[in-house]
Amino acid sequence: EAAPEPGEPRSRPPQQRQPCGEAPGGLAGWECPQAGTALSRERPPVRGGHGGTSGMSHLSAPESSWSSLPRVPAFLQGPRLAAHPTSPPALADGPNDSEKPTGGKSKAELRAERRAKQEAERAQKQAKKAELSQAATAAKPRLTPTEPQSVVKRLPEHVQVDDPAAQRKLAKKLERQQVPLRQDYGTKVNLFSHLHQYSRKKPLTQQMSIPSTVIHPAVVRLGLQYSQGIINGSNARCIALLEVFKQLIRDYSTPPNEELSRDLVAKLKPHISFLNQCRPLSASMGNAIKFLKKEISCLPDTLREEEAKEKLQDTIDKYLREKILLAAEAISRSAFEKINDKDVILVYGCSSLVNRTLCDAHVKKGRAFRVIVVDSRPRLEGRETLRRLVRKGIHCTYVMINAISYVLPEVSKVLLGAHALLANGSVMSRVGTSQIALVSKAYNVPVLVCCETYKFCERVQTDSFVSNELDDPDDLIVLRKGQAQLGGWAENKSLRLLNLVYDVTPPDLVDLVITDLGMIPCTSVPVVLRVKNVDQ
């Protein structure tokens, strides 16, 4: 469960190519250009396309955006003919040849058709609106002036778990995308009944067939790694996500009569839903996905598919390099100015940035300081920090979080990592961080937070209840002398276990935020967001 360093994910080496024609049940060829299937030719025409489909509306082999499967297992075929293993490749001749669809309309004509359709729909909408407005003007005196306009933003689904309408919408959406819906586990504390609570013993993959026809296997593996806690920490998760998206783009091939910029975004959606079901997306992942979607939809039409894919992979690499790796270097350098000789620095949990800063300061610049590592159950991430620092020769002390008021009088500064920085300057980080900040304030110890700018969120949160993550409550069960304390918690009606993952630290408890743009006070986070938006 240790959090791997960013850039060294503990996952297996990149997927080996499986020989095609393997028995179903193996990770049969996502990249098998030879074998084709006759299914695609015999498929009945699908609504909403010009001969092409989005591949999501039925369970048979999808229109070959991921290259054809050699053989589709029988239980997935439905009422169709079995696939011919040696039939000539159908509409998509491997991933490389999708520029000129075999006997379809040219791109410009398609676009003109689409535009004509849109105009027709728009005209229809206008006509309807005109009717409605006539009815409305007749009924206007009845409208109260305080009716809310549609400016109110919709709440995200993941904080509306106790609202059955929202959950029904989610279920329908997942069904449409062919992503299984993960069931909640155990009774929740009332205050957090609006959040999901999953069990680690029931991963999402138990509910789906593998190999999945809709979800790329790399994404399935990533989802499992997230939900089982193998990849932990916001930087590690984001890097793993971007690497997997690069793989997705490599294996993607535009179906005929589709544009890459539109279709790829649509293809990414079920994968993102799947990852979200495995483990709620972190703020860093959310920002990376937003960036990627924007890049894809801004691709010029004139690019060929290969060039477009190259370009996308380059932009992802650039994002990774600049926003994550170089930013870490810059933060390490800035934070180094604040570390003096004879300092006693308190750190909490395991943050890749803080670890890197301390190791650099000690190894490369030779500052003499000592570190107090504070840890907390049930994750015990501080042990990983301890391991890394001690290996570099830094003098460390290890305490649990209930001992901080004992050690704080000798601490000169507190260095914390962050999961996200919110628009009002609040810091969202591992649960326990706000407690450390609070007690440090009481002891007048300066609190420094290290955070890259790509984790800055437009959200505003003033408490830790509204949006959070509930981890598996069974993690809190302790095994001591053979007895599992709290083991029978589910049977006890008046007992609830709460395993929170994040908490929110108010900005007045934080003295300084170190970002790749420099050292700023907590109240300047909206300025950075504004500057970033202007840049874009």
Partner 1 sequence: TPPVAYLLTFKKKKKGSSLRKSPSLVPTPRRHTSTIQGLRSSLLAAIDTLSRVDSSVAVSSGGELFLRFISLTSLEYSDYSKCKEIMIERGEIFLRKVSLSRNKIAKLCHPFIRDGAQILTHAYSRVVLRVLEAAVESKKRFSVYVTESQPDQAGQKMAKALRKLNIPVTVILDAAVGYIMEKVDLVLVGAEGVVESGGIINKIGTNQIAVCAKAQNKPFYVVAESFKFVRLFPLNQQDVPDKFKYKADTLKTSQNLTEEHPWIDYTSPSLITLLFTDLGVLTPSAVSDELIKLYL
Q: With CB under 8 A as the contact rule, which of the stretches 82-90, 108-116, 146-154, 515-523 interacts with partner 1?
A: 515-523
């997230």: which residue's tokens? 226
Burial of 245 (0-12, 13-18, 19+ CB in 10 A): buried
Q: With CB under 8 A as the contact rule, which of the stretches 283-291, 319-327, 351-359, 519-527 interacts with partner 1?
A: 519-527
- 527 binds partner 1, rule: CB under 8 A: yes
Could you please report the per-residue DSSP string of 239-255? Answer: HHHHHHHHHHHHH--PP
Query: Between 179 and 339, whose beta carbon lies closer to partner 1?
Result: 339
Q: Residue 202: which residues within 8 A CB-CB, separation 6 or more?
A: 182, 183, 185
Footprint on residues 144-203 left by partner 1 (CB under 8 A):
none
Q: Which strand ranges, in their side-by-side order, compose the sheet holding 447-450?
A: 395-400, 369-375, 343-348, 413-417, 447-450, 512-515, 518-520
Give the residue from 51, 43, 35 showing the smallest Cα distance to 79: 43
User: Of 218, 408, 470, 517, which one interacts with partner 1 (CB under 8 A)?
Assistant: 517
The least distance separating partner 1 from the CB of residue 446, rounded to whole angstroms, comes to 4
The least distance separating partner 1 from the CB of residue 173, rounded to whole angstroms, comes to 41
Q: With CB under 8 A as the contact rule, which of the stretches 321-329, 358-366, 449-457, 526-534 interacts with partner 1?
A: 526-534
Q: With CB under 8 A as the contact rule, which of the stretches 139-147, 286-294, 388-396, 517-525 interacts with partner 1?
A: 517-525
Distance, in Å, from the CA atom of 95 to the CA atom of 188, rounded to the nearest integer, reads 47
**Angle, vertex CA 430, rays to CA 427 and CA 435, nearest 5:** 75
**String of contacts with partner 1 for each residue 489-508, x by CB under 8 A:** -------------------x
- 518 binds partner 1, rule: CB under 8 A: yes
The least distance separating partner 1 from the CB of residue 356, rounded to whole angstroms, comes to 20
Query: Between 189 and 519, whose beta carbon lies closer to partner 1?
Result: 519
Distance, in Å, from the CA atom of 10 to the CA atom of 177, rounded to the nearest integer, reads 29
Q: Kindly determine how many residues on this chain lie close enough to bind partner 1 according to the rule CB under 8 A.
A: 18
Give the residue from 417, 366, 352 showing the smallest Cα distance to 394: 366
User: Of 284, 287, 505, 524, which one interacts with partner 1 (CB under 8 A)?
Assistant: 524
- 2 binds partner 1, rule: CB under 8 A: no
Footprint on residues 22-61 left by partner 1 (CB under 8 A):
none
Q: With CB under 8 A as the contact rule, which of the stretches 21-29, 79-87, 278-286, 443-451 interacts with partner 1?
A: 443-451
Omega cis (within 30) before 164: no
User: Of 84, 318, 531, 532, which one interacts with partner 1 (CB under 8 A)?
Assistant: 531
Query: Between 451 and 517, whose beta carbon lies closer to partner 1?
Result: 517
User: Of 76, 330, 512, 529, which one interacts with partner 1 (CB under 8 A)?
Assistant: 512
Cβ-based neighbour number of residue 11 at 10 Å: 17
- 521 binds partner 1, rule: CB under 8 A: yes
The pair of three-digit structure tokens given for residue 146, joined into one six-digit string = 């305080």
Footprint on residues 332-391 left by partner 1 (CB under 8 A):
338
The least distance separating partner 1 from the CB of residue 527, rounded to whole angstroms, comes to 5
User: Of 39, 448, 457, 470, which one interacts with partner 1 (CB under 8 A)?
Assistant: 448
Q: With CB under 8 A as the contact rule, which of the stretches 202-210, 240-248, 357-365, 514-522 interacts with partner 1?
A: 514-522
- 279 binds partner 1, rule: CB under 8 A: no
Query: Between 378 and 521, whose beta carbon lies closer to partner 1?
Result: 521
Q: Phi then psi for 97, rounded to 5 degrees? A: -110, 80
Cβ-based neighbour number of residue 343 at 10 Å: 17
Footprint on residues 319-338 left by partner 1 (CB under 8 A):
338
Give the residue from 373, 367, 341 showing the smallest Cα distance to 354: 373
Give the residue from 429, 380, 438 showing the smallest Cα distance to 408: 438
Compute, in degrees rounded to 10, the torsion defined by CA atoms 275, 277, 279, 283: 70
The least distance separating partner 1 from the CB of residue 341, rounded to whole angstroms, comes to 12
Q: Residue 465: which residues within 8 A CB-CB, separation 6 or more?
A: 191, 192
Helices marked H in 382-461: 382-391, 404-407, 433-442
- 511 binds partner 1, rule: CB under 8 A: yes
User: Of 224, 490, 501, 519, which one interacts with partner 1 (CB under 8 A)?
Assistant: 519
Query: Between 85 and 521, whose beta carbon lies closer to partner 1?
Result: 521
The least distance separating partner 1 from the CB of residue 268, rounded to whole angstroms, comes to 34
Query: Between 278 and 528, whose beta carbon lies closer to partner 1?
Result: 528
The pair of three-digit structure tokens given for residue 461, joined into one six-digit string = 């949160």
Q: With CB under 8 A as the contact rule, which of the stretches 33-41, 175-183, 399-407, 440-448 interacts with partner 1?
A: 440-448
- 96 binds partner 1, rule: CB under 8 A: no
Distance, in Å, from the CA atom of 54 to the CA atom of 484, rounded to the nearest integer, reads 50
Q: Phi then psi for 261, rounded to 5 degrees? A: -65, -35
Contact indicator for 439, 403 with CB cutoff of 8 Å: no
Query: Between 372 and 386, whose beta carbon lies closer to partner 1?
Result: 372
Q: Phi then psi for 128, rounded to 5 degrees? A: -60, -45
**Phi and psi based region of residue 291 (left: phi greater than 0; alpha: psi -120 to 50; beta: remaining):** alpha
């991933």: which residue's tokens? 95
Query: Between 93 and 511, whose beta carbon lies closer to partner 1?
Result: 511
Distance, in Å, from the CA atom of 464 to the CA atom of 427, rounded to the nearest integer, reads 10
Footprint on residues 408-437 left by partner 1 (CB under 8 A):
413
Contact indicator for 21, 71 with CB cutoff of 8 Å: yes
- 462 binds partner 1, rule: CB under 8 A: no
Binding site for partner 1 (CB under 8 A): 338, 413, 444, 446, 448, 508, 511-512, 517-521, 523-524, 527-528, 531
